[in-house]
Structure 1
Amino acid sequence: MRDFQFPGRSPVRATEAIAATSHPISTLAAIEMLRAGGNAMDAAICAAAVQGVVEPQSTGIGGDCFVLYCPAGQANILAFNGSGRAPAKATIDWYLDKGFSELPKQGPHSVTVPGAIDAWCRLLEDHGSKDLAEVLAPAIHYAENGYVVHDRVAFDWAEPETDLSADEHAARIFLPGGKAPRAGDVHSQPELAATLRAIARHGRAAFYEGAIADDMASRLKELGGLHTLEDFAATRGDYVVPVSTSYGGYDIHQMPPNNQGLTALLMLNVLSGFKLDGLDPNGAERLHLEIEAGRLAYQDRDRFISDQDHVSVPVEQLLSRDYADRLRAEIDPERAMKHLPKLKLPGSDTVYITVVDRDRNAVSFINSTYYSFGSGIVGPKTGVVLQNRGSSFRLEPAHPNAIAPGKRPMHTIMPGMATKNGRVVMPFGVMGGAYQPFGHVHLLSNMLDFGMDPQAALDAPRVFYNDGAVEAERSVPAEAIEGLRRRGHRITAPHHPLGGGQAVVIDWEKGTLTGASDPRKDGMALGY
């Protein structure tokens, strides 16, 4: 139990249903959808649509999504890959012949075709109970009538002002008066409202064919992109088989490659060989072991993870116990490893949503446009912010993640699910671009090794190894910082808080739900 004399909040507890998102308006929309008779899938898609309006820097219909879903709380997990693909003309030779050494972080060549709307429509048709018009109605309302900009949203919005000002259409919509809105300002997106209304009336085809698709494809072509209307029309997501491992008596499930979820499972396998539960959860010894396991796992992430439709990824070998033993043997509990290459891992903006309903349908749902405001390109007539997922591709012909026509890039956004004895125990997710595998492991270890409730586990101090140094939040104790330095780590301060996150724990014996939402974002968990 937390000390009520210190800042913080308790987890949310309920019996019927809980929704947890990174924005209060989104959480409320999900709860209202549930109380109107919708199920967890209806509520999650409703919340994602709202967040595409009220957190425009983080997500939107011009991005991608991944979903793990447990109908009736059973462990037969359905996984949906809603990530988009490179244009059919995007050959590696085209880029090399034009003198590119890497894919740009923004601009038309960073854009993959958005997969979110296809995913929403497929999932709603297969697993929802409400129609698309009802599910999108709250998002349409806020886009048309305005919404109040929340504090973390304003903090994130201010940073990419220069990037937004480079695109006249982005600047017109997202820099009213030439500046990013501040906390407490009211902002609206009428072009996006009209786009959402067309999708609500005509479904998936309204986005991938006709005027909306033409607006996006024409703008990309105008800027030098390779995208065509045929690329948009061909977009389809896929049901896939999750990848899994066991940790602390629970089965942990992630999306398969092209998703980076495998990275978290690698970390868990390595850490399972250490006795963590007797350590200080915020101490140097525990944090050091987590850092070193992460460095090893991220090295393999960047070596192997790619689109399995194009490249064979050795998933079974990477998740084997023998492989975990070999990696673990490289870790010295008293010294930082010196032989690993220095990885530069970009952060990004994402929204994670989890909903569990009265029937214990459990949804783990993540949606993103990657960097803040994605590619920086906005459809002139549609108001759609286009993602920059293509920037994750490599321009090294022999690399598994090399760009190719119709290929999906290595993808950072990753929903998580924990099960035990054939039933779901916790849908969960941690945001933050490349930080996400590390965040998943830190959350799970906080709960399974140290007995924290989900809110305390999300609140806890965080570190992350990036670009040759350990980024340590200000909440990390001074003695832990000194202990990490003694082990050879260089310590830096992150510019942003490390990630965000949500989780819902299902107690089948008591018939209760316990929800949590990360204080690093504006959001909240609500239940009834």
Structure 2
Amino acid sequence: MPRLLFVALAALLPDVAAAADRVTGADFATRSEVFARNGMVATSQPLATQVGLDVLRHGGSAVDAAIAANAALGLMEPTGSGIGGDLFAIVWDAKTKRLYGYNGSGRSPKALSLQWFKDNGYTTIPPYGPLPVSTPGAVDGWFALHGRFGKLPMKDLLTPTITYAREGFPVGELIAYYWDRSLPRLREQPGFLDQFTIDGRAPRKGEIWKNANLARTLEAIVKGGRDAFYKGDIARTIGASVQSAGGFLAYEDLAAHRGEWVEPVSTNYRGYDVWELPPNGQGIAALQMLNILEGYDLKSWGFGSPEHIHVFVEAKKLAFEDRAKYYADADFAKAPVERLISKEYAAERRKLISMDKAATSVVPGEFTTQGDTIYLTTADRFGNMVSLIQSNYRGMGSGVAPKGLGFILQDRGEMFVLKEGHANTYAPGKRPFHTIIPAFITKGGEPWLSFGVMGGDTQPQGHAAIVVNLIDFGMNLQEAGDAPRIQHDGSTSPEGQAAPMSDGGTIELETGFDHAVVRALMRKGHRVRHADGSFGGYQAIGVDVKTGVYVGASEGRKDGQAAGY
């Protein structure tokens, strides 16, 4: 009997193994795409997705839903977002049939100078504490977007988060993990332990978290509008908290803040127009990569082939050297954007790529010129779509939590360079180089896809990879995000403070690439290692303009959700 039982079980094993594979789609897909006609929301937190959906059901626009979901994420995912940070967005307006870009990044303190850093022995700006704090732009961004495209009162958009903040919500597994990891480096910062721990520890997964301070702050914003944040008691408290900790951000910096509407820029990739925002963000790095990659027959090579990975990494090396030299606040150093994203420039740079050998040294082009985030996307029944990204930088930002306000200030000022002559050199009242970037794709002048990928240097690489996965490799929206990711590290830092790449850097590959591919890459001179974490967090909403059907996808590496109605 034992032998017969063994034989019977062995006969069943192939069927058991087969059952582990997906019946439809790629084996690496974590779930199916989501379809709906009347609206769609995709965020990295299911409760925030539901907040956005409720807004759509009550007649709100895609912008209304995005604001409501973003507010909820600031409460539910403080490890990546909050009203102490900045915001960027691309909006597709169905009425005018065009894209609108918004740059909601804040500026450096006017009282802080480059000379102060030199006089006090700094060669880089520290990542935590009061010195890297720049003016938070998210709240101003909400009101700018709402003033142009909103339909419901701001009270209706913020009340769900106010309620969750007072009554509490269960913390998700991944957020609890990152919260706990942030604690050792931030516990000494002013206000952090008091406002973002439970008896000195991070909340555990499933544990109820409340934030009455944030509820009061949001109520003040509902009552007093954006000026309640930038010109009232909140601004005074922010300034006092930062300066008492030894920083420079002042009430006057907040009172002077204004984000700005900007024109998105694009390149055409095999018939699809891919849109990003111009610097001070890094979005055009994705466009530079795509222009270079367009010169190769990726489809014939296949996803995950040595040739695919090799040219992807080499294109990234070239784009990121330009990123390090030229991307900065356009009010201080205007990057040659038109030239950088031109097909002619891509053809020149492509000549530097060898198919047989990895580049170990790359320099930027020459011109005469003057990580931790949330991404969400929404779409409404009117055909409007929003691609929005928001961040504290470095997860929970500076760690400085202004007294009694319930949020943490960003540390985006860390990205400045402390040396003369660089495009991103620190200056008072200047916007730092920014890593967070929303993206959009149109085809034939119609919306096709709103998407983004979170995570520092991952973002332009992730944007390019999503486009390639969809267009060259024919993946569906969910598969394009779930496919194993390629991450290259080692180019000059975005701040221009590292030496130019001299050893080729390192390719990090997620699980799913063949060992023979890794060996082939190593023979080309690449240093390859298995990824020790996951890369970014992807959300996307596509649309079939003929049927009006939305399709949504949410990152399998995160706790998020795409849902429609």
Residues 1:58 and 2:80 aligned together: yes
Task: Give, in angstroms, the shift of residue 341 of structure 1.
Answer: 7.1
Residues 1:487 and 2:524 aligned together: yes
Rounded to whole Å, the distance in 2 between the matches of 1:3 and 1:302 is 45
Rounded to whole Å, the distance in 2 between the matches of 1:98 and 1:335 is 44
Cα-to-partner distance string for 1:77-134 (whole Å, 9 max, x where unaligned): 1101100000112221121122110111111111110000001011111110011111
Cα-to-partner distance string for 1:254-302 (whole Å, 9 max, x where unaligned): 0111111011010011101111111221222211111111111011101
Residues 1:369 and 2:392 aligned together: yes
Contact kept, 8 Å, 1:84 with 1:112, in 2: the verdict is yes
Q: Pairwise mapping of residues 67-466 of structure 1 onto structure 2 (< 5 A)?
A: 67-72=89-94, 75-340=97-362, 348-466=371-489
Q: Where does structure 2 lack aligned partners over 5 or more consecutive residues? A: 1-20, 365-370, 491-504
Contact kept, 8 Å, 1:103 with 1:393, in 2: the verdict is yes
Cα-to-partner distance string for 1:396-453 (whole Å, 9 max, x where unaligned): 1100000111110110110001011111111111111111000000001000101111
Residues 1:518 and 2:550 aligned together: no
Task: Give, in angstroms, the shift of residue 75 of structure 1.
Answer: 4.6
SS, match of residue 215 in structure 1? helix
Rounded to whole Å, the distance in 2 between the matches of 1:172 and 1:122 is 32
Which amino acid in 1 is paired with 2:454? Answer: M
Contact kept, 8 Å, 2:71 with 2:82, in 1: the verdict is yes
Task: Give, in angstroms, the shift of residue 513 of structure 1.
Answer: 1.1
Q: Could you tell which deviates more after superposition, 221-230 or 25-34?
A: 221-230
Which amino acid in 2 is paired with 1:525? Answer: A
Rounded to whole Å, the distance in 2 between the matches of 1:177 and 1:283 is 50
Task: Give, in angstroms, the shift of residue 226 of structure 1.
Answer: 1.4
Which amino acid in 1 is paired with 2:117? Answer: Y
Task: Give, in angstroms, the shift of residue 166 of structure 1.
Answer: 1.1
Rounded to whole Å, the distance in 1 between the matches of 2:59 and 2:462 is 33
Which amino acid in 2 is paired with 1:141? Answer: T
Residues 1:504 and 2:526 aligned together: no
Rounded to whole Å, the distance in 2 between the matches of 1:479 and 1:65 is 42
SS, match of residue 191 in structure 2? helix
Residues 1:33 and 2:55 aligned together: yes
Tell me the residue number matched to 2:5.
none
SS, match of residue 442 in structure 1? helix
Contact kept, 8 Å, 2:190 with 2:399, in 1: the verdict is no
Rounded to whole Å, the distance in 2 between the matches of 1:17 and 1:479 is 44
* Closer, same or farther: CA 419–75 of 1 in aligned 2, 3 Å: farther
**Structure whose CA Rg is larger:** 2
Which amino acid in 2 is paired with 1:496? Answer: G
Q: 1:477 aligns with which of 514, 524, 532?
A: 514
Task: Give, in angstroms, the shift of residue 9 of structure 1.
Answer: 0.7
Q: What TM-score do the two structures reach when normalised by structure 1? A: 0.96
Q: Could you tell which deviates more after superposition, 193-202 or 481-490?
A: 481-490
Which amino acid in 2 is paired with 1:494? Answer: A
Rounded to whole Å, the distance in 2 between the matches of 1:493 and 1:74 is 46
Rounded to whole Å, the distance in 2 between the matches of 1:74 and 1:332 is 45
Rounded to whole Å, the distance in 2 between the matches of 1:86 and 1:144 is 33
* Closer, same or farther: CA 73–438 of 1 in aligned 2, 3 Å: farther
SS, match of residue 199 in structure 2? helix
Tell me the residue number matched to 1:527.
564
Rounded to whole Å, the distance in 1 between the matches of 2:286 and 2:185 is 32
Which amino acid in 1 is paired with 2:285? Answer: T
Rounded to whole Å, the distance in 1 between the matches of 2:159 and 2:284 is 36
Tell me the residue number matched to 2:16.
none
SS, match of residue 69 in structure 2? helix
Q: Could you tell which deviates more after superposition, 479-488 or 241-250?
A: 479-488
Rounded to whole Å, the distance in 1 between the matches of 2:282 and 2:151 is 31
Contact kept, 8 Å, 2:129 with 2:189, in 1: the verdict is no
SS, match of residue 413 in structure 2? helix
Q: What TM-score do the two structures reach when normalised by structure 2? A: 0.90
Task: Give, in angstroms, the shift of residue 494 of structure 1.
Answer: 3.2
Which amino acid in 2 is paired with 1:392? Answer: M
Contact kept, 8 Å, 1:217 with 1:228, in 2: the verdict is yes
Contact kept, 8 Å, 1:85 with 1:408, in 2: the verdict is yes
Rounded to whole Å, the distance in 1 between the matches of 2:201 and 2:477 is 37
Task: Give, in angstroms, the shift of residue 223 of structure 1.
Answer: 1.5
Task: Give, in angstroms, the shift of residue 153 of structure 1.
Answer: 0.8
Which amino acid in 1 is paired with 2:545? Answer: W
Task: Give, in angstroms, the shift of residue 164 of structure 1.
Answer: 2.4
Which amino acid in 1 is paired with 2:141? Answer: A
Cα-to-partner distance string for 1:136-155 (whole Å, 9 max, x where unaligned): 01111111111111111112
Contact kept, 8 Å, 1:462 with 1:476, in 2: the verdict is no
- Runs of 4 or more consecutive aligned structure 1 residues displaced over 6 Å after TM superposition: none
Which amino acid in 2 is paired with 1:454? Answer: L
Task: Give, in angstroms, the shift of residue 227 of structure 1.
Answer: 1.5
Task: Give, in angstroms, the shift of residue 74 of structure 1.
Answer: 5.8
Tell me the residue number matched to 1:45.
67
What count of residue pairs does the alignment treat as equivalent?
523
Contact kept, 8 Å, 1:73 with 1:362, in 2: the verdict is no
Rounded to whole Å, the distance in 1 between the matches of 2:265 and 2:207 is 43
Rounded to whole Å, the distance in 2 between the matches of 1:340 and 1:308 is 25
Contact kept, 8 Å, 1:354 with 1:428, in 2: the verdict is yes
Contact kept, 8 Å, 2:318 with 2:363, in 1: the verdict is no
Identical-residue share of aligned pairs (%):
41
Q: Where does structure 1 lack aligned partners over 5 or more consecutive residues? A: 343-347
* Closer, same or farther: CA 493–380 of 1 in aligned 2, 3 Å: farther
Tell me the residue number matched to 1:9.
31
Task: Give, in angstroms, the shift of residue 2 of structure 1.
Answer: 5.6
Contact kept, 8 Å, 2:190 with 2:402, in 1: the verdict is no
Rounded to whole Å, the distance in 2 between the matches of 1:179 and 1:483 is 46
SS, match of residue 87 in structure 2? strand
Cα-to-partner distance string for 1:210-265 (whole Å, 9 max, x where unaligned): 22111111111011111111101011010011111110201111011111101101
Tell me the residue number matched to 1:345.
none
Which amino acid in 2 is paired with 1:423? Answer: E
Task: Give, in angstroms, the shift of residue 173 of structure 1.
Answer: 2.2
Cα-to-partner distance string for 1:466-511 (whole Å, 9 max, x where unaligned): 1321111123333332222222111233332000111111111222
